[in-house]
Structures are given as C-alpha cells and as structure tokens.
Amino acid sequence: MKKMSVVPASAFNLNCSTIASDKSISHRCAMFSLLSDQKSTIENFLLGEDTLASLNIAQQLGATVTRNGSYVEITPPKELQEPSDVLDCGNAGTAIRLYVGLLSGIDGYFVLSGDKYLRARPMKRVVNPLISIGAKIDGRANGNLAPLTVRGGALEAFRYHSSIDSAQVKSAMILSALRAKEKSYYKENLLSRDHTERMLLGMGAEISFLTDGYIEIMPLTSPLKPLNIRVPSDPSSGFFFAVASAIIPNSTILLENLTLNKTRVEAYKILQDMGAKVEFIQKENIYEPIGDIRVSYNGKLSSVSVNSNIAWLIDELPALSIAMAMAKGTSKVSNAKELRVKESDRISCVLENLNRCGIETKEYEDGYEIVGGVIHKAIIDSFGDHRIAMSFAIAGLVDGMDIEDIECIETSFPNFIEILKEITEVL
C-alpha cells in the first residue's frame, strides 16, 4: 500500500496548464465513438486508469484503438461484438453504469465488473429503470452489485421521470433510448452534468429539450457522425488546487483550458461566496465552453450553507470540505445523500478524517456540519477514494499530512502529485 507525506506550504503563484483532462468527457468519447461508423479522433484523452478501462472495453467490443500519448483514434466495428471475457471497468462507476445502458439495446451477452470498491457500489439506480423498459440485467444482491450481466436486445420506448438527479442514470437511459423502438422521454428535477446531451447532439443525435422539462430522444436510424474533439481539462481536478490557493495566504493559481460548463463550476462559485477571489475567463464555446479560472487568496474564508445544485457539486464536495474546515464559523451541507454512493461513503469518510485532523463535525443522513478551525497533521485513510486522498493532500499544505492508500489517485489524476510538488515537498 503506497503512502505519501505532504509538507506544509508557503505562498505560491502558479500557472497550471497540466490539470488532468476531463474524466467525464473522456469516458464518453470512448463509448460514444461506438455509435458512429467512422473513425473518431480524440486529443488530450485522459490517461487515467478509469478512462483507459472504458477504452479497453471499446476494444473488447470490436473497435480498433490506436494511441499516441493522449491522442486517440477509435474506429468502430460494423456491429459491436459479443466479448469473450468480462468487461473490466476498474474503479469507474461512470464506465459500468453508462456501458450497461449502451449495451442493453445491443444483441449479445455482456458481463461487466470492476475492482473491489466498484463491486460494492449500488447499481439498482441504473438497473431498475433499464429493466422497466425491457432490459435484461442481473447481478449480485438482486442486481444491485457487480458483476452485472446484460442480455442485450430490443428495448421499449419510455417516459421516465427520475427521482435521482444523476448524470450517470440520465446518460444510461439516453443511451438505451437510442436503441428503443420509438421516441423516448427522460426528465430529472435538477439538471445534472449535460455532457452526454451536448456530445450526442454534436454527433447528430435527435435530442430535443421540451418546455415541460423532458428530454425527447429519437432512436437511431443510422450511425452518428464521428467525434473530432479535444478534451478540455477537468474543473473538478483543478478544484483541489483552487482550494489550496484559497487557504494558503498570498497564493494564486491560474488553471488553464478547463470546461466552464455551468454544471461543472458550481464549486468555484461557492468558494467565491466564501470569500476567495475567483475569475472566469472564457476563450471558446464549441462542444463545451472552455477557458481559464484564476483563484487567489483573499483573506480567511467564511462559512457557507450548501443545499442546492448538489448534482453539480458531487465530485468537489470533499475538497470543498477542506475549505470549510479552514473557514470562520460553521458550514453545512444538506440534500447530499448521493455522496454516500460514490467511490466511498464520502460523508462518513470525509468527516472521520477531518476529526482526525482536530476539526469538529456533525454527521447527518444527507450531509454534515463542519466547524471551522485549523487543520492539524494526522494519518489519513483514503478508503480507496481518489478524491479523499487528494483533498487531504491539499489539507496537508496547512500543517502537513500523512495519507495512506494513495494508488487510487491514478484512477483520475495521474499527475496530481507532480503538480503538488510545484507547491510543496511531497515525501
């Protein structure tokens, strides 16, 4: 089990153009290329363990994949092939949940699994709505746990109003709708990440947004256009260093070439509400709005209450909790039960580690309270969750930190430690 120790940092001023490529978009590039009949080209594909798992699965389904560093070409087969082995999703919830939706409408037998952490994560949130439209899916714990088996085939059209605001559930249902017999409709209460809709529209899918909040999806009558895309940098990865600059006096960071999609920058706006200086600098808007974000220390942060747009914050809340722990007053997060079904139970795991650091907290079923103070050095358990490992590495910039089980960082941000070393010493 790999460990690392982070040494306290002094003021820093950093321009960063090497933030990890966006994981959500990279996953989708690997999958959506299979919906075309022509070669897709992807620049700046994330070479993390999770996204490479999605790419490997595309190959197992018959695609020809060539890579030159982060430049990837994917040539789909005429028809997706039934694989001879298990489709290994690694630690990637996005991979398993979206592939289940995509493969539900494809003739063949497919088995999807992953590492021990992924095999413990709940899948019924995707499996149940898919079964309701005719998908044949099973797994451990009555279909709630991987390995999942999919016997793909014809699917029924649907009108589905989801009780869960989740981009993974939405994407799985949209992908299944592309193989349905007639047009389908999907609705969520709050807009979750919309990369799936944006990318499929760009590829020529017939998707409409109705005034009653439903998304209308027409089934495919012909292959989609190929992707020709440069994946922007990931704002949720950049957010770790945004927090660093907000809690270390006299520090500034410029994060370059991020997606500025409104569903992806909510955490930066909350950090701004807490008192940090945050600037958004848009440069282009083709598939996604893309630009830079500059974050600067602007005095001690103030506490904040977070209870809305949780679907836009789900990946950043562990790092935002570090900012809350350094703020004046008591911060509260609610309506965030979704945190309990991520790579770890992020509510209990974040709070346990904050308690180790001398921070007072209170746990609720759907959130928590954090009493701001000073984070002290402690021994941190990542619980196999990359975002917990990286969040507490940033916390270590204050008084040092020892973090155990850091292999998980490779799943999403392979050069995280390299960037961290530009700010402080990492042992």
Enzyme catalytic residues: 315
Letter string b/e over residues 336-368, b meaning 16 or more CB atoms within 10 A of that residue's CB: bebbebbbbebbebbbbbbebbebebeeeeebb
Bridge partners of 149, per DSSP, are 111, 138
DSSP structure class, residue 48: S
Q: Residue for token digits 């999703």?
A: 89
Residue pair 310/336 in contact by the 8 Å Cβ criterion: yes
What would the DSSP string read from start to end of 188-210?
A: -SS----HHHHHHHHTT--EEE-
Between CA 144 and CA 123 the distance in angstroms is 5
Helix (H, G, I), strand (E, B), or coil: what is residue 211?
A: coil
Query: Within 205-301, where are the H helices?
Result: 235-247, 266-273
Please, what is the end-to-end C-alpha distance for the chain in angstroms?
15
- For residue 76, the number of C-alpha atoms closer than 13 Å in the C-beta half-sphere is 19
DSSP percent split of the chain into helix, strand, coil, nearest 5: 35, 25, 40
Residue pair 346/367 in contact by the 8 Å Cβ criterion: no
Exposed/middle/buried for residue 296 (C-beta within 10 Å: 0-12, 13-18, 19+): middle
Between CA 154 and CA 156 the distance in angstroms is 7
- What's the one-letter identity of residue 306? V
Residue pair 424/397 in contact by the 8 Å Cβ criterion: yes
Helix (H) or strand (E) holding 100: helix 93-104
Residue pair 22/413 in contact by the 8 Å Cβ criterion: no
> Cα angle vertex 136, ends 197, 51, to 5°?
45
